[in-house]
Amino acid sequence: MVHSKQIRVLVLNDMEKLDRTLFRQDQGFELQFRLGPTLQGKPVQVHTNYPSKGKKFDRHKFCTLEWINPNEREDDSDKFCTLDLHIAGSYQYYFGHGKEEKSGGGYFVVDPVLRVGANNRILPLDCITIQTYLSKCLGPLHEWPDRLRVAKESGYNMIHFTPLQVLGKSRSCYSLADQLDLNPDFSPPEKRYTWTDVGVLVQKLKKEWDMLCITDVVYNHTAANSPWIRQHPECGYNLVNSPHLKPAWVLDRAVWHLTCDIADGKYEDQGLPALVQNNEHLDKIRGVFDKDVFPKIKLWEFFQVGVDRAVDQFRKLLESGKAVKSKPGAEAQLTIIQDPEHRRFGCTVDMSVVLAAFVPHSNSPEAIEECCSGLRKRLEEMNEERRKEAHYHQEQAINCIMGNVVYERLADHGPKLGPINRKNPLVTRYFTFPFEEMTLNQELLLIHLADKACHFLAHNGWVMADDPLRNFAEPGSNVYLRRELICWGDSVKLRYGDKPEDCPYLWAHMKKYTEITAKHFAGVRLDNCHSTPLHVAEFMLDAARAVRPDLYAVAELFTGSEDLDNVFVNRLGIGSLIREAMSAGDSHEEGRLVYRYGGEPVGAFVQPSLRPLVPSIAHAMFLDVTHDNECPIQIRSPYDSLPSSAIVSMACCATGSTRGYDELVPHQISVVKEERLYTKWNPEAEASATGEVSLASGIIAGKLALNRLHQELAAKGFIQVYVDQVDEDVVAVTRHCPSTHQSVVAVSRTAFHNPKTHHYRDEVPPMFIPGKIEEVVLEARTVERHAGVYGKDETSINGMPEYTVEITEHIQLKESEVVRQADVTSKGPNEFVQEIVFERLTPGSVIAFRVSLDPKAQELVGVLRNHLIQFSPHYKSGSLSDSDAPAILKKPLTSIMSRLTLADMNVLLFRCDAEEQEDGGGCYTIPSWVALKYGGLQGFLSVMADIRAKNDLGHPFCDNLRQGDWMIDYVSNRLLSRGGPLQQVGEWFQAMFGYLKHIPRYLIPCYFDAILVGAYTTALDAAFNKMSEFVQTGSTFVKLLALGSVQMCGVGRNPALPPLSPNLEAVPYRLNDPTGTKEQCCVSLAAGLPHFSSGIFRCWGRDTFIALRGLMLVTGRHLEARNIILAFAGTLRHGLIPNLLGEGAHARFNCRDAVWWWLQCIQDYCKLVPNGTDILQCPVSRLFPTDYAKPQEPGVEDQPLYEVIQEAMQRHAEGIEFRERNAGPQIDRNMQDKGFDVVVNVDPETGFVSGGNKFNCGTWMDKMGESEKAGNKGVPATPRDGAAVEIVGLSKSAVRWLVELYEDEVFPYAEVTVQRDDMEVSWSYDEWNDLIQNNFEKMFYVSHDPEDPNEKHPDLVHKRGIYKDSYGASSPWCDYQLRPNFTIAMVVAPELFTTKRAWGALEIAEKKLLGPLGMKTLDPDDMVYCGVYDNALDNDNHNTAKGFNYHQGPEWLWPVGYFLRAKIHFAKMMGKEAYDETVFLVKNVLSRHYVHLERSSWKGLPELTNENGQYCPFSCESQAWSIATVLEVLHDL
């Protein structure tokens, strides 16, 4: 099915919490939640806070999503709930079931849609080119357009303003004194501007300049001199609301007083001057702390117990008779309880623990005093431990202080602050102190005065390598005490608490600030986002989105972890994370960042519109440099600005820069100290002008061209990216459009080092660009000019006039001054490569080429896309109609496919290597890799599904496609040789491949995939349309299983079935190629792939008829099922159906059960097929009219089917005894001689069909020992002689059915005749039916009653409440083994079982035998159980050598179907609760089969697994009966 809408599917798995996984969605997408295997069958409810239609978003309000089951089936494979995503933001989902309200969950983020211009056109996020302005450097508001015009004329489409609010005393752009008022600096004396005026300007930029504006929001701190924080000190961390900061405050004041003392020269005589210049001075500072500071302030006292007070309290308790009984270990539990108010010696101990730890031996004063002394000693020890802890904190504090001093005063890269004084203290103060200077001792008294202490507010800052999700100012953190904060002394950290009620003024104030911002600006940059409490940022951004739903939120995170980044992006709905090219140490890393931050690889596969939701990385805003980082010119060179900008501009994400970068300002424009104004735009400005700029200034002309190019590439869908590191300095970035196949290749030669002082190599390696270069989009290089030398202007932020850019745009290649020559070489008939040799690609240069495919190749791609439109509207763009298309392409593929039979589909889609080899071919093999699983399309699609999802274009499969046409030809030639409708499909492929072969090789994998996916999905639709309504309307799981019918049912070169009667109607015929004669070509059913798929080992009676109901009757393949039933009927001999069919003539009649499975299938056919009983009259051509007849030609001896059925029943009643033909090693090299003797009879006492002996194995558990070393050769592992439980059930089902047929007058026989006491006696089917019914539970049920009179071997009973596996085995122990076979009898003859007993036995089987995919074939409590099958292992272990344990533990899949069907049947009888639980079990078990099917490259279910579902390499990868019985469960549901 083709979906034009983009749908993403999120599969829910139990206990999967994806809070740190990012799922980005576009508006207009549909998000579907589906159940993973761990949840299928459970009553799962999905909740989300995405708002219901017409409702407003409330983060804390969740609605429950409704489940949609499109096929109204019981299985959960297609069940989903859905959201149509039309509102930007961050949303949460969670799900639960039963008592588990939340058993998993996560977030999804819906990107905003930004609009610009008078016509409100969409600005895609990848189109953004942003420039940052420090608002305080823009001057009065009426002058802003002149300064902002620089951004417009430089090609930017978004401006980022630092905050526009009133600044604090420090004049830092990010220290705001009043969040609600506009900075008065923007107003001239005669006029006061307001937010309305700002809004008008922003709208003008949006409508007239096509530019959007965003600004910062600062939630973490406010300026220390904010008037409102003085009135509302509760909004910060002070000593009243955060008493844990008291010790840190005391240390901070002591450090300040030390600053004053050093500045005042008090330590000069000790060798410590105010100007710190060397390590000796540093050592002196350290010594002063140890000798003077810490002993004076005694920080440890804040963490210690008042010993005298505690001992007195303890003494009084003892004296008042409160002593308790001693508790061992109580003293070890004694710990200091920290005083929440952090008073000196304010800590306490738990007196109940003290009383239990120190118990006096009597009530005498001496005994009490002895206890008090013991306590005093222990408390002093504990206080000493606290003193040591405080000492560790002090040591860290000194280390951090010294680190600051070294950086600020000694380090070459530091600010070199000069002498210590009050303006530049020893270290930045951690707390505000809004009072007059006083002595330290006087200050320390203020700590006890709440009206004063509330104004000692903690400054904000950042902590290196700290957990960004932890608030470093909250209790439990010692950051302030240990001086680990890199402090911003101009700002106070804000204390929000957990909710608005905790600090109402602050939340309301900041909410209003947010709403003002959102009203006027398209987006916000979250300043210091990683340190902003997440719940606060969530609340504020929710308020912002209430004002502006499509708010664009950007942030710069310093978490150091992508997982942690995702927490912020998820919770806050961040649209883009700021990334910086300056973080790259070389050009290689810069190129890697381009690749990392966006785009898919060139030649990527087309992804289906309905596909899994996969985790993504946060959308990037990739900047040359951010405004608060060092200037690139100082770190690299002026020549690098242009090429690094070019590399950034080619990134498939938002890009940008900061004002000053393009003008080549050679220093960082400080957000704190810069007070000059930006230059204005003047197109005529002289190079030497300091207050104006033009296109001739710096690299502005180059940036204009690059910004235009960036926007064009994003707008026109150039979403594919390739980065080529040409050499250590040259990076080539390709952007490719997957619909037009145009490319732009930008080659940048970086100049991280100044070319004047660094030697760059003279030659640049040539480049090879595939396709035809249409034009040089631009070539530019940084050059020196004579316009004076840079001098820092007093009033304007000026750049370096001595550099400019030489740029030429939109020229032909021959006009280029950078390229010397461009030779065209041919790589294929329509693939041209241009070799580019560079002449003047000097350091600091850029050249960009626009490249198209060769015209012929371009045309062929367009035509190919036109023919692919029938599969997806995605291919419309870039398509070309083709009037000369081959005739076969003028028909829709659906009409060609509709002519294929399901047998043809088997050839088209499947056929494993052995099947292909029968036709003289084989599956396609990729050299240096592997052969594909199938010759048909599934072989290719299984590999491509994995490659496509990952865009793994380096896979050997893709290499093979690029290197030659071998795979392409294989697909079409294989079908062309077939004739008929398949040949037409081959012609269609050949015609499509005719175009494919002539396009550039790098595009072949994606278009080969597109062709095959289209053909494959069309074929599947056509196949399902030929199946039953159950399949056509079924779930995806049903369809996947039904595909097993196509996989297993086919016609080989040599017919696998013996010929049917020539008198039978509707038998398919074909011409035999070599002989030219007409022959029957009936579909046969392979037992399993790859081992049982061809030749004489393809068809097995037992396997065929266990699988036939599910794969043929349930899927609606009635005629083919009829033919198989009749073909096997023709082989009846000795009253048996063969096990190995051997094409009929080579059949082996060595199994007791195949005939009963055959009869069960005839019964199912009669019941499931309309007029099904007509089959009883169909002629059967007997291959062996008598037991010892030679094979006869078809039509020589015909009988109606009902006669053959009666013969089978009659022969069993008479008793069957014969020796296999050709007995000996020629037919079985392992079997002992007695094993070739076949005996089957019916017990006249019980009606049970019995037989076999201990030398053979006549049921499906038919492993014959092969190891001479272990001594098990010729020994059956599981003889199951006697009456096997499933044969008893199948025979009961057969006789009951024959009774019904006789009563309905469609079967002429009511009885069989047997010899008893030399007399011929009639035995009615009614009597036989009753006999089995009356004896089954007596003989098979192992009751809970130890005295059960029916129990012949009570000594062998080891599990009760089960059904025996057999009755009357030669080794009686085997009867009592717990195996899954009784469930088969439950399904075919449920009337044999008492409901309660059946239910109990099924519960035991579930507990003991049920595995992830299959059923254990033996009770794991059994002494011979071994769950790992290894057929290659030959050792001396009798139980396992040469796979002897094939059916002694490994988990076979097909019995699961019968177990689940039995469970469903009896659950209905047990009541609603049992039925509901069973439906959950069934869905849950089957979900694992669904997952296996989806992931299997064979698209099948295996024969068996090892224990606990582990992969078994000796198993068939896809087994007919495994698929069939699972499909039957879904049919029953």
Active-site residues, by number, are 527, 530, 628
328 preceded by cis ω (within 30°)?
A: no
As a 3-state breakdown, the chain gives helix, strand, coil percent values, each rounded to 5, of 40, 20, 45
| DSSP secondary structure letters along 1410-1471 | B-SSSEESS-TTSTT------TT--SS-TTTGGGTTTTSS-EESHHHHHHHHHHHHHHHHH-
Pairing of strands 610-612, 7-12: parallel
With beta carbons less than 8 A apart as the criterion, state whether 721 and 139 touch: no
Of 739, 1081, 783, 983, nearest to 880 by C-alpha is 739
With beta carbons less than 8 A apart as the criterion, state whether 1308 and 1325 touch: no
Of 815, 314, 293, 219, nearest to 532 by C-alpha is 219
Inter-CA distances, 562 with 106, 557, 616, 629, 1037, Å: 16, 10, 11, 21, 36
How many whole angstroms separate alpha carbon 833 and alpha carbon 768? 6
How many whole angstroms separate alpha carbon 1128 and alpha carbon 446? 104
How many whole angstroms separate alpha carbon 1054 and alpha carbon 915? 11
Provide CB contacts within 8 A for 629, sequence distance 6+: 580, 582, 668
- Which helix (H) or strand (E) is 382 found in, with range? helix 365-405
How many whole angstroms separate alpha carbon 16 and alpha carbon 825? 54
How many whole angstroms separate alpha carbon 1489 and alpha carbon 1110? 15
How many whole angstroms separate alpha carbon 1000 and alpha carbon 1005? 10
- Which helix (H) or strand (E) is 1085 found in, with range? strand 1084-1085
How many whole angstroms separate alpha carbon 1533 and alpha carbon 359? 72
User: Could you give the angle at the alpha carbon of 356 between the alpha carbons of 352 and 358, nearest 5°?
Assistant: 115
Pairing of strands 24-25, 1415-1416: unpaired
- Which helix (H) or strand (E) is 944 found in, with range? helix 937-950
DSSP state of 339: P
DSSP collapsed to 3 states, 1332-1346:
HHHHHHHHHEECCCC
How many whole angstroms separate alpha carbon 982 and alpha carbon 906? 11
Which amino acid, one-letter code, is at 4? Answer: S
* Positive/negative CA dihedral, 713, 719, 725, 729: positive
Token digits for 1254? Answer: 């201990």
Which amino acid, one-letter code, is at 628? Answer: D
DSSP state of 1159: H
How many whole angstroms separate alpha carbon 640 and alpha carbon 782? 8
* Positive/negative CA dihedral, 983, 988, 991, 996: negative
How many whole angstroms separate alpha carbon 1363 and alpha carbon 56? 61
List helix spans (H) across 952-979. 956-963, 966-976
Which amino acid, one-letter code, is at 327? Answer: K
Token digits for 780? Answer: 């530019």
